[in-house]
Amino acid sequence: MPSSSAKIDISLLQTFHLVARTGSFSSAARELSISYQSVANQVRRLEQRYGAKLVLAEKGSRSISLSPQGKALHHSLGVELDNILARISVIMHDVHSVLRVGIPQALLIHFFPEILKKFRLSMPDIELSFYERDTILEDMILEGSLDVCISERFFGEASITQHLLGEYSLSLIYPREWVTGIEVLPDISFFSSKPFITYEPGQTIRSRAIDFLGGHFDEEPTSNTTASGSITITKLVEAGLGYAVVPDWCANDESQFVGKIILNELEPVKVYFGNTTFLEKNEYIILLREACKLVMKKNFI
């Protein structure tokens, strides 16, 4: 097995993968447009770094077989290496590239029209495909379904590079009709018996809000309505169905239907720009990240 400190060039894995798939050095050489000897040398280098014999070749025979270690490595690569190489090829070289971006709906609606305007000034031909997701962003980027994600969670995965875009405050919003005739803005305890509208399990703001409110109420808030996005939750509050904790930038200060209390004592929510680590130097991703920073910092603290 390779040592934990070994650094294996992806081109060596590609060469081994082709040799294993085609069954010969010569077939792999034709696909890679390099010499037979170059293929053999690359496989030997991989074996040296891996610390085990991977390919078995008999003298006078053009075909090869895999050792048990070689079979295990080839099986572990599966179709993933082909997918990675295909994505690199498309994103790095095709002027009609598609960047797949995962992002919570509210962030997409609130910030990305302006972000896209800035991005298009430099990259008018790059297609961006958006996936409105939240709790499964980490899984999607790990399985190769996304190139970029905007997330309110830090994943701590070595294969995902995340850059902090900023952080925002949370506000408690409530129907103004609840406080008609009340001159003094209610404190948090006022809402302990009111219906609480919140996010689906696993979403960052839901966890923060329940912990915060539970500390003030001495019990978890009563919740009978959940939704996946801040826009939907805000609309439900506007309809008088309950109160909620949402990003401060979602709350309209001038709304005649919804009041808000900025929760300064609640820890701000950090927002991260994440991408697969092997695309960290990609010019399209760098430009998109910089556009996100420029636009979001105007609304963040």
Instruction: Please say if the pLDDT value at position 1 is more than 90.
Output: no
Q: How many C-beta neighbours within 10 Å does residue 181 have?
A: 4
Q: Which helix (H) or strand (E) holds 25?
A: helix 25-32
Instruction: Please say if the pLDDT value at position 183 is more than 80.
Output: no
Q: Is 241 exposed, middle or buried (0-12, 13-18, 19+ CB in 10 A)?
A: middle
Mean pLDDT over 281-293 rounds to 93
pLDDT at 157: 84
Instruction: Please say if the pLDDT value at position 5 is more than 90.
Output: no
pLDDT at 110: 93
Whole-number percent of the chain with pLDDT over 70: 90
- Taken in order 11, 17, 21, 22, the sign of the CA dihedral is positive
List, for residues 212-267, the tens digit of each pLDDT value: 999 999 899 988 899 988 999 999 999 999 999 999 998 888 888 999 999 999 99
Domain boundaries, the chain: 10-77, 86-165+273-296, 170-267
97 compared with 111, residue with greater pLDDT? 111
List, for residues 11-59, the tens digit of each pLDDT value: 788 889 889 989 999 988 888 778 888 888 989 999 998 888 999 987 7
pLDDT at 270: 95
Q: Which of 68, 79, 70, 62 is nearest to 23 (CA)?
A: 62
Q: How confident is the model at residue 60 (pLDDT cuts 50, 70, 90)?
A: low
Q: In terms of DSSP H, where are the helices of the chain? A: 10-22, 25-32, 36-50, 68-77, 80-93, 105-122, 137-142, 204-217, 230-238, 283-296
What is the chain's percent helix, strand, coil content, to nearest 5? 45, 20, 35
- Fold entry, domain 170-267: D-Maltodextrin-Binding Protein; domain 2 (3.40.190)
Mean pLDDT over 193-218 rounds to 93
Mean pLDDT over 270-287 rounds to 88
Domain boundaries 10-77, CATH class: mainly alpha
Instruction: Please say if the pLDDT value at position 95 is more than 50.
Output: no
* Structure-block tokens of residue 101: 């971006």
pTM for the model: 0.68
Mean pLDDT over 88-93 rounds to 56
Q: How confident is the model at residue 83 (pLDDT cuts 50, 70, 90)?
A: low
Average pLDDT score, the chain: 87
List, for residues 158-180, the tens digit of each pLDDT value: 778 999 999 999 999 999 999 98
pLDDT at 7: 58
Whole-number percent of the chain with pLDDT over 90: 47
Q: Do domains 86-165+273-296 and 170-267 have the same CATH topology?
A: yes
Instruction: Please say if the pLDDT value at position 4 is more than 70.
Output: no
pLDDT at 165: 96
- What CATH number should be reported for the domain whose range is 86-165+273-296? 3.40.190.10
Q: How far is it, in rounded angstroms, from Cα 122 to Cα 118?
A: 7
Instruction: Please say if the pLDDT value at position 287 is more than 70.
Output: yes
- Decide if 104 contacts 206 (C-beta within 8 A): no
pLDDT at 177: 93
130 compared with 15, residue with greater pLDDT? 130
pLDDT at 193: 92
